[in-house]
């Protein structure tokens, strides 16, 4: 567990720096364009190349040195930030640069994420999987407690350049924590060597593994539905807040910090008490709870509503994500987790990319004009979300949030999902297929 905690600390610092840079880039892009589409396309291009790389990444993670892959991911991310810094200082930075750099960085971050996730079972005991996953959630939410607020406060004085420099320092700390530690590689059994003799067999292994297990297959479908709706709403999150707060960076930073505080609170509660005995209940409860909180967030028009609603929403995600990850880590053999988790990640990335590609045009050309003053739809929804700038974005956000609740209820109604832990044996209970 000690080695895991060392790696965890380095990734916490790295994520903190990345969050600051990401927040500063959102402000810079919004100031430049004033459109949701520009911001959503950054996310789309960051995720698009990973869709094609993920299947290969799973094979690479299972065959190559996982420590080296994590170092490579941090190094490429640092190089991307350095490039942005140079372009900004020479007054050459443009929106399309973010698309290209995001695409390149996304490929290597995918390798790093898979290598890190697949190493958990080698670094912590089985009974600590959910707790380790909750600490992973603390990385995400811990960084955004302070990072957006600090970036928002610094942006007016040090601009994008100063924040990027802090990000580079964070990357250096992350690399320093990785260099001295050792991560063992899983030993592939003889049957694995015999059956996975070609690249093609290895690439399709994750798909065959999931397809052969209806419980995991249905879980993937459920999570894909959830993340599609979540990312469709999440892509317009920052534009919606900026539009409804008169471009107030401090308000956006405070709300992001509330998200971080809620997430860390949820992660600490899980770390202290653990997830539910049946992890699937944690998944479904987290879905419904997050959706309900997001509906309240979308209905709000002031920070006094946004802050507690965002806190409550983020409180649910450590429960959701750590419970789901615990199911996968418990049911999937460590020797093949890289490929199986890569397949799951690939499907989520596909639906996420589609959501991000749809979000900008839907926001700028459908929902915003539809809810504006004088439109035929405005009387129907104007009393709920208002009619000022950003009201159409809020309506789209509310609709996606209601969808999250429905996904959670659908999972509860589906016996295959509800009984996934009973229908599948733990990976250490039987020999690998």
The pLDDT value recorded for residue 194 is 46
The pLDDT value recorded for residue 332 is 85
Output the pTM of the full model. Answer: 0.75
Q: What are the 10-residue block averages of pLDDT along the chain, 433 residues in total?
A: 80 85 86 81 78 72 80 89 93 90 83 78 72 70 75 83 91 87 65 51 79 90 95 92 86 86 84 79 94 95 94 92 87 81 84 90 88 72 82 93 96 90 73 48
The pLDDT value recorded for residue 140 is 66
Helix or strand run (H / E) with residue 412:
helix 391-413
**Cα gap 257→166, rounded to integer Å:** 18
Residue 375, classified by CB atoms within 10 Å of its CB into exposed (0-12), middle (13-18) or buried (19+), is middle
Reported CATH class of domain 2-181+201-423? mainly alpha
With b for 16 or more beta-carbon neighbours within 10 A and e for fewer, the 95-128 pattern comes to eeebbebbbbbbbbbbbbbbbbbbbbbebbeeeb
Domain map (residue ranges) of the chain: 2-181+201-423
The pLDDT value recorded for residue 195 is 46
The pLDDT value recorded for residue 43 is 77
The pLDDT value recorded for residue 378 is 75
């Amino acid at each position: 567990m000690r080695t895991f905690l060392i790696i965890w600390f380095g990734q916490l610092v790295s994520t903190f720096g990345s969050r600051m840079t990401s927040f500063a880039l959102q402000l810079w892009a919004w100031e430049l364009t004033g459109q949701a589409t520009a911001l959503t396309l950054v996310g789309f291009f960051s995720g698009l190349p990973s869709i094609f790389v993920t299947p290969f990444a799973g094979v690479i993670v299972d065959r190559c040195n996982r420590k080296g892959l994590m170092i490579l991911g941090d190094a490429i991310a640092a190089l991307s930030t350095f490039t942005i810094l140079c372009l900004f200082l020479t007054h050459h930075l443009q929106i399309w640069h973010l698309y290209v750099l995001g695409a390149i960085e996304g490929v290597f971050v995918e390798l790093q994420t898979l290598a890190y996730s697949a190493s958990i079972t080698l670094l912590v005991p089985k009974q600590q999987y959910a707790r380790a996953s909750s600490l992973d959630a603390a990385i995400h939410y811990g960084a955004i407690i302070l990072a957006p607020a600090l970036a928002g406060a610094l942006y007016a004085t040090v601009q994008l350049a100063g924040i990027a420099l802090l990000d580079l320092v964070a990357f250096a700390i992350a690399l320093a924590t990785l260099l001295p530690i050792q991560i063992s590689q899983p030993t592939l059994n003889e049957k694995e060597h015999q059956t996975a003799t070609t690249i093609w067999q290895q690439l399709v292994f994750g798909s065959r593994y999931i397809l052969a297990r209806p419980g995991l297959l249905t879980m993937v479908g459920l999570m894909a539905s959830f993340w599609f709706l979540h990312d469709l709403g999440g892509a317009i999150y920052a534009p919606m807040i900026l539009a409804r707060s008169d471009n107030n960076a401090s308000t956006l930073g405070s709300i992001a910090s509330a998200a971080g505080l809620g997430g860390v609170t949820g992660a600490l509660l899980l770390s202290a008490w653990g997830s539910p005995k049946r992890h699937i209940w944690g998944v479904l409860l987290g879905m419904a709870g997050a959706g309900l909180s997001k509906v309240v967030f979308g209905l709000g028009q002031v920070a006094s509503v946004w802050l507690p609603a965002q806190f409550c929403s983020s409180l649910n995600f450590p429960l959701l994500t750590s419970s789901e990850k615990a199911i996968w880590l418990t049911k999937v053999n460590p020797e093949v987790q890289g490929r199986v988790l890569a397949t799951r990640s690939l499907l989520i990335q596909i639906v996420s990319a589609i959501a991000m590609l749809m979000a900008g045009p839907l926001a700028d050309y459908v929902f915003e004009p539809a809810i504006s003053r004088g439109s035929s739809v405005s009387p129907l929804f104007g009393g709920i979300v208002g009619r000022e700038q950003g009201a159409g974005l809020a309506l789209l956000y509310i609709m996606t949030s209601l969808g999250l609740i429905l996904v959670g209820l659908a999972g509860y109604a589906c016996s295959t999902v509800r009984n996934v832990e009973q229908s599948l044996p733990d990976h250490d209970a039987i020999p690998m297929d």
